[in-house]
Amino acid sequence: MSQTSYVIGHQQPDTDTIISAIAHARLKQAQGEDVVAARAGDLNPETQFVLERWDVEEPTLLEDATGEQLLLVDHNEHSQTVEGARDADVVEIIDHHRIGDVETSNPIRFRNEPVGSTATILTGLYDEADVEIDEQTAGLLLSGLLSDTVVLRSPTTTETDEVVAERLAEIAGVDYEAYGKELLKQKSKLGEKEPREMVLGDFKEFEFGDADVGIGQIETVEPAPVLEQRDAVLEAMDDVVAEREYALLVLLVTDLLEEESTALIAGDHTDTVEDALDTTVEDREAFLPGVMSRKKQVVPPLEDAF
């Protein structure tokens, strides 16, 4: 490649997106390519903790990707890409989500696998390329894997994720259950957040047919402080729906220990939520036992319903 390329994850970056950008850029650099890690937004507290813990610098903030060469990690739909990505040249995609709407003119490598994290796939790519995973990189990859799979408890978790987690933990020199608990604590640092931050902190936009739909998620070991502020949170959700002309906004408040979610609803499509998720919405709230994964348990039925 003649120009510097950027490895970049989705907007509202989470830990798997950030560490995937870093780890994949390192792999490409080890193969002699001119590639740097980038990010499409601010780091959340969990990701800040991870980068401090493993003593790694945060990726470059890329504000506009127009004209750039991009390697997309952890997403493959334009509603989630960095600004300007439609006018950039996408040269590679590594992801573990549904197949979205990013198209290319040329044949490129697109590696999508239905596993728990992009970090899991990247670990395999290091092996394929015969590049050694050092202690620090293993720590980063393990963090992405444990964060996205809620320490291997999410229903998105596969046998491959379990095998890879054990191996990465050994290289990184940590006990993954204990380290995972530290991560979960960081995820739950929500007490001091503003309602709008709670809604948009881990947020994804989708186009389901003609409808623009936003789905936020708060993963926590302590849902009470969030649900106690539900009226203020619902007000913030209404503001977002009005500003962005959403047909629907769902905020999942996911209890990581009880493995269940409470959904708060804004927008006009309460019926669609009830049909799609087989639940009852009362007072703009629905209880979803067993639901932990936005990607696997909420997006597909909502898309089908719209």
Positions in the binding site for a second copy (CB under 8 A): 90, 93, 96-114, 156, 295-296, 299-300, 303-304
Nearer to a second copy, 113 or 260 (CB): 113
At closest approach, how far in Å is the CB of 168 from a second copy? 20
Pairing between β-strand 260-267 and β-strand 248-255 as defined by DSSP bridges: antiparallel
At closest approach, how far in Å is the CB of 101 from a second copy? 6
- Residue 254's DSSP bridge partners are 219, 261
- Residue 289's DSSP bridge partners are 260
Nearer to a second copy, 30 or 91 (CB): 91
At closest approach, how far in Å is the CB of 12 from a second copy? 19
Nearer to a second copy, 101 or 166 (CB): 101
Nearer to a second copy, 107 or 173 (CB): 107
**CA dist., res. 47 & res. 147, Å (int):** 9
At closest approach, how far in Å is the CB of 70 from a second copy? 13
Half-sphere CA count of 38, side-chain side, radius 13 A: 23
Nearer to a second copy, 45 or 306 (CB): 306
Q: What is the dihedral of CA 286, 290, 291, 295, to 10 degrees?
A: -160
In angstroms, how far is CA 181 from the centroid of its own chain? 19
At closest approach, how far in Å is the CB of 80 from a second copy? 14
224-253 residues labelled b (16+ CB within 10 A) or e (exposed): eebeebbeebbebbeebbeeeebbbbbbbb
At closest approach, how far in Å is the CB of 112 from a second copy? 4
Radius of gyration of the chain (CA): 19
In angstroms, how far is CA 190 from the centroid of its own chain? 17
Which structure tokens are listed for 113?
């696998």
Nearer to a second copy, 240 or 292 (CB): 292
